[in-house]
Amino acid sequence: MPRQTEVDPRSGPRYLVSFEVRAEWDEPGGAHILSEGTTENVGPEGTLVHLPKKLPDVGSRVRLEVQSDDGKKLQVIAEVLRIERNPGHPLAALQLLGETDEWRGLIWEPAAPRVASPMPTESDEDEESEDDDELTN
């Protein structure tokens, strides 16, 4: 899965990655809400999540369960900093209220882009074989 880096000067780099999430919170009227979605990006202290059915209120606390690519699950408590009520793609910006070391180790760091070494080209292979010939002569 391709990943990109988006720099956010507030808390560090955010990595564009889609992890499955499950969010739970209580509405002011007492209703308990369970919503499933995906992350849009993850940072060292929070995440932006897409919750297609219902969004929590700004300032509320959310119990968030995130499943990483390798299948590990992490449960954290987060506060809603901002919501985007786009009907086609509703989002909630969440800031962790603890567990940041676990978050960084299990979610944020593994989401970092991987830089692969470049594939050798034909000209590189030709140069290597010429160098080998010079060493053997």
User: Residue 75: in which H helix or E strand, if any?
Assistant: strand 73-84
- Per the CB < 8 A criterion, the answer to whether 108 and 96 are in contact is no
Residue 97: name the closest of 45, 36, 19 by CA.
Answer: 45
Q: 89-130: per-residue pLDDT in tens?
A: 999 999 999 878 999 999 999 999 877 666 666 665 555 555
Where are the chain's structural domains? 4-136
Tokens read off for 131: 């160098």
Residues 42-47 have a mean pLDDT of 95
What is the DSSP secondary structure assignment for residue 127, as one 8-state letter?
H
| pLDDT value at residue 115 | 72
- Here the contacts of 112-119 (C-beta below 8 Å, separation 24 or greater) are 112/3, 112/5, 112/13, 112/15, 113/3, 113/4, 113/5, 113/15, 114/3
Contacts of residue 21, Cβ cutoff 8 Å, sequence gap at least 6: 36, 37, 38, 39, 47, 49, 51, 64, 65, 66, 67
Higher pLDDT: 47 or 11? It is: 47
Tokens read off for 52: 């297609």
| pLDDT value at residue 6 | 47
pTM: 0.75
- For the domain 4-136, what is the CATH superfamily, name and number? predicted glycosyltransferase like domains (2.40.10.220)
Q: How confident is the model at residue 3 (pLDDT cuts 50, 70, 90)?
A: low
**Listed range (11-20, 21-30, 56-65, 110-119) with the worst mean pLDDT:** 110-119
Of 10-24, 52-66, 118-132, which has the strongest mean pLDDT?
Answer: 52-66
Tokens read off for 120: 């050798």
| pLDDT value at residue 22 | 97
Q: 58-90: per-residue pLDDT in tens?
A: 999 999 999 877 788 999 999 999 999 998 999
Rounded Cα–Cα distance for residues 68 and 84 (Å): 24
